[in-house]
Amino acid sequence: MNQLNRLIATPVGAFGVLAFAAFLEVFGDACFQSGLYRSVGSARIGWFVAGTAVLASYGLFVNLPQWDFGKLLGVYVALFFVVAQIVAKVRFHQTPTAPIYAGGALIVAGGLVITFWKS
């Protein structure tokens, strides 16, 4: 665990952990969506169980970096948005619209401000 703590103490390591957490949250949400709208019977239950396990893992990973909670979640929201758009395209074949690109640019800009603004 000591080596993991040293890794996530670096900006690149913390970014990697947060990016992985974003993937887990988006993937967990995608499991639930698949269970609700794309399956029936035992397959539906399987998607719900998988979604629950993946979202529990997300909760662990998003809290590994010992950052200020507000900063942590501010940066995380930007990563979550980017990963969500990738999964929406790859898994559900949904292409982002102009409002999603415009709003997403603001979200990512906010994440960059939170990450790099030194007070």
The mean pLDDT value for 26-54 works out to 94
Query: Average pLDDT, whole number, for the chain?
Result: 88
The mean pLDDT value for 27-56 works out to 94
Number of independent structural domains in the chain: 1
Alpha-carbon distances of 6 from 2, 11, 60, 97, rounded to whole Å: 6, 11, 17, 40
Question: pTM for the full model?
Answer: 0.76
Top pLDDT among 69 and 105 is at: 105
Structure tokens at 109: 């800009």
- Confidence (pLDDT) at 70: 79
Structural domain of residue 54, as residue ranges? Answer: 2-116
What is the rounded CA–CA span in Å between residue 85 and residue 108?
Answer: 12
Question: Could you tell me how many helices (H) and strands (E) the chain has, helices first?
Answer: 5, 0
What is the rounded CA–CA span in Å between residue 97 and residue 110?
Answer: 20
